Amino acid sequence: MRMGNGIMTPGKILYILLAIPIALPWARPVSAEGPPRPVGYYIDLALLAYPSLASMRQRIEMKRNEAIRAGALDDPKAWIALSNVPVRSWSFREEDMTGKEIGLSQMFPFPGKRDHAVQIVTREKEQAEFELEEIRNMLRADVKMAYAELASVRAQADLVRRSRAILEQVVDVSREMLAVGKGRQPDVLRGQIEYQKMREMLLMLENRERLLSIRLNTLAAFPPDSPVPAIDRLAEFPTAYDPLELQSIYRDDRPARKALEARIRKGAIGIVHAEHEGRPDFEVSASYMQRDAMPDGTSRPDMVSAMVSMTLPIWRKGKIEPGIRAMKAEREMAIRDVETLDSEAANAIGGGLSSLENFAAVARLYRTTLIPQAEQSVQSNIEAYRVGTIDFPMMMDSLMSELGFRKEYVGMVGEMHMTKARLEAAVGRELDGVPPVSGETAPSNTKNSNGEGR
């Protein structure tokens, strides 16, 4: 191996080892063309073009028109008849009651039935509208989770790529030291093994990145295999949310709960409507009869008839009471569904807050303690390796520990963002405008031991 125009001497090899911590570009972002796309870009596209949203909008339109139809009267009936024609002669002049009749009738439901039918379908429309908002709520959370995980995986893959580049230098150094009698064959083999292990790690991360890119593209209505350009880097954020406030937000804003409340209101109206099935409906009819003159030429006057008829809802036990019980059961089912959703939301909020605080604490521990200590350990171990007080495996372990800590930190920050997205799905709205309870502020941009921003 040559360095510049000269042979790499042991002194130059040790200089490279000492310079490794200074050259580690852990926190430099990957260069990319154009500014990174924020998560809001993908959320807006998803809310605009996701197929399920268009389907639900059509359902709302359908219910809107059903409500109009529910308030309309039944179609009237019209008839034309030949009345009292004698079969012996088939004459229209022989009998006084013989005539040609035309009539019209209209059914009128018992007062209140049409209004109840309209209210039932209106509640169904409201339920569909809230279900549409719930789909939007869940879709927004799905996009945020896919975006956060993709950003985390990309950052971890970037760390591994840069670590492999550094480790390749270390392996080359160990080979040169072996060549000049300053190293050992096991050290070279250990470095090569760690280098290949990083290759395995990188392959897994790259595969996960492809899967998440497909997921994000699908949610945003892009072609699944289209490349995802640069996205924002993740950062820590305040996590001390008040669980009581989140519960209040859930009760006020969660669309799924509002949809169930609309079902309860529909059930209550349905009970009244089923009880009204025991009331009669009325049919009003009128007819006009034209009569021919008598056989002797004497004219007969035409006749007009009118009639009011009504239904007799006498099958109460077999028809009306089962309908009432069915509507009561539907309302009770909706009430129990609200209780179930409340329980699930309380569990999601409590568990999400606990996980969020834990991820934040671990990320803070990595950022403020473990990573700086690992940096110092790497520098001191390389110096100790230079003077021969530790062996190559110990120095290699310190390098791998620092990489592991940095990967874990990026993973914890990603988990924070994904957990926050799950919390937003549970409460029914974004939490960016909800302040932390203790006035906690997001951590400032810290710097590592080389003055580089994390």
Task: Please write the tens of the pLDDT for every residue from 120-138.
Answer: 999 999 999 999 999 999 9
Per-residue confidence (pLDDT) for residue 322, from 0 to 100: 93
The reported pLDDT for the residue numbered 31 is: 44
Q: What is the pLDDT of residue 316?
A: 86
- pLDDT at position 438 is 52
What is the pLDDT at residue 169?
76
φ, ψ of residue 119 to 5 degrees: the values are: -65, -40
Residue 228: the pLDDT is 93
pTM of the full predicted structure?
A: 0.80
Q: What is the pLDDT of residue 27?
A: 41
Query: Residue 97 and residue 82: Cα distance in Å, rounded?
Result: 10
pLDDT at 16: 52
Distance of CA 93 to the CA centre of its chain: 79
- Please give the pLDDT value at position 37: 92
Phi, psi for 167 (deg, rounded to 5): -65, -35
What is the rounded CA–CA span in Å between residue 335 and residue 346? 17
Coil, strand, or helix at residue 288? strand
pLDDT, position 366: 95
Low-confidence residues of the chain, pLDDT below 70?
Answer: 1-33, 174, 177-178, 180-183, 187, 433-454
Report the distance separating Cα 348 and Cα 227, nearest Å.
Answer: 34
**How far is residue 141's CA from residue 351's CA, in Å, rounded to a whole number?**
17
Q: Helix 321-365 and helix 392-427: axis angle, to 10°?
A: 150
Classify residue 123 as exposed, middle or buried by CB count within 10 Å of its CB (0-12, 13-18, 19+). Answer: buried
- Per-residue model confidence (pLDDT) at position 25: 39
